[in-house]
Structure 1
C-alpha cells in the first residue's frame, strides 16, 4: 500500500484584483452643460470658474446638440479682432461643433484611448441609450491606465 502524504490545509488563493476598465468607471459625471443661446463671453467665464476647457451643449430637452471648447472661443476672439466686431453679441450655437463624436458608456478605456489617439479631440461625450451620461477626457484615460496593473494590459 502506498504512503499518503498530508500537507495540511491549503492556503487560500489570493484573488487577483481586476481594476475596472470601462469608460463609465472613469468618466466625469457632474458636467458643466452649456446652452445654444448662451453668449460666448459667459462660456469663457464658466471655463475659468470651473477650470475646464470645454463641455457639451444641450438643448432645452437635455439632448446633446454640440460641444463647445476653448478652441471655438479662440476662433471667436480671432474673428472679432479681424473684423473689428464685439465678442459679446455671439451665441454658443454660432461656434459650437455640431457634428459631435460620442462614445458608449460601456466601451473599454483601451478603445477610448485609440479614439483619442486617432482623432484630435480632447474630450468625448459619453452616451447610454442616446442619453448624455458623462464626458471622458484624455486625462481620464491616463488616470485609468495608471490605476491598472501591468498584467491587466
Structure 2
C-alpha cells in the first residue's frame, strides 16, 4: 500500500511581485512643466502653488530640454541680490540644468530606487520616442515600496 498525498495540484509559481512593478506603473503623468522663456518668478509661484520642488522644461512638442528646481531658483535669488540685478528678466533657459538623466518607464521600480540613491536626484523624467511622458520622484518610489511590502517583505 503506497502513501497518498493529500496535497492538491500546485499552481505554477507566480513571478515575484517586484518583477511586475515598473516605473511606468508609479510615474506621474499629469506634470507641471516649464518653458525656456518662462520667468523665474513665475516658476517660483508654480512650485509653491503646486507643492513641488522642481520640474521638467519642455518645448511645444513636449521634448525634454532640461530641469528647473527650487535650488536653481534659490541660486537666482542669491545671485540677484548679491549682484543687485533685477529678477524680472531672468528666464528658465538661463538657469535650468540642461544635462538631464532620464530612466526607462519599463525599469523595475526597485532598480529605480537604487538609481535614486546612487545619483542623489529627487526626480527622473521618463521619455518615450523623444517626448516627455512622465516623471518618477522619490515619493513615487516610496509609495511603490509600501505596496510591495504586503507582497514580498516580511515584518
Q: TM-score range by the shorter chain?
A: 0.7 to 0.9
**Distance in 2 separating the partners of 1:29 and 1:92:** 22
Q: What SS is found at the alignment partner of 1:65?
A: strand
Task: Report deviation, 1:110.
Answer: 1.5
**Distance in 1 separating the partners of 2:40 and 2:52:** 15
Q: What SS is found at the alignment partner of 1:103?
A: coil
Equivalent residues in 2 for 1:107-126 (5 A)? Answer: 107-126=107-126
Task: Report deviation, 1:149.
Answer: 3.2
Q: What SS is found at the alignment partner of 1:149?
A: helix
Tell me the equivalent position of 2:17.
18
Equivalent residues in 2 for 1:1-153 (5 A)? Answer: 2=1, 10=8, 18=17, 20-149=20-149, 152=152
**Distance in 1 separating the partners of 2:91 and 2:5:** 79
**Distance in 2 separating the partners of 1:6 and 1:34:** 65
Alpha carbons of structure 1 residues 96 and 12: separation in structure 2 relative to 1, 3 Å: same
The structure that has the greater radius of gyration is 1
Q: What SS is found at the alignment partner of 2:132?
A: strand
Task: Report deviation, 1:111.
Answer: 1.4
Q: What SS is found at the alignment partner of 1:104?
A: coil
For structure 1, the residue ranges without an aligned partner over 5 or more in a row are none
Q: What SS is found at the alignment partner of 2:80?
A: helix
Task: Report deviation, 1:10.
Answer: 4.7
For structure 2, the residue ranges without an aligned partner over 5 or more in a row are none
RMSD of aligned residue pairs (Cα, Å): 2.6
Task: Report deviation, 1:11.
Answer: 8.6
TM (norm. structure 2) is 0.85
Alpha carbons of structure 1 residues 145 and 5: separation in structure 2 relative to 1, 3 Å: closer
**Distance in 2 separating the partners of 1:132 and 1:60:** 11
Deviation sequence 1:75-120 (CA, Å, 0-9, x none): 1001001101111210000000000000011011121111111112
Deviation sequence 1:55-76 (CA, Å, 0-9, x none): 1000122210001100100110
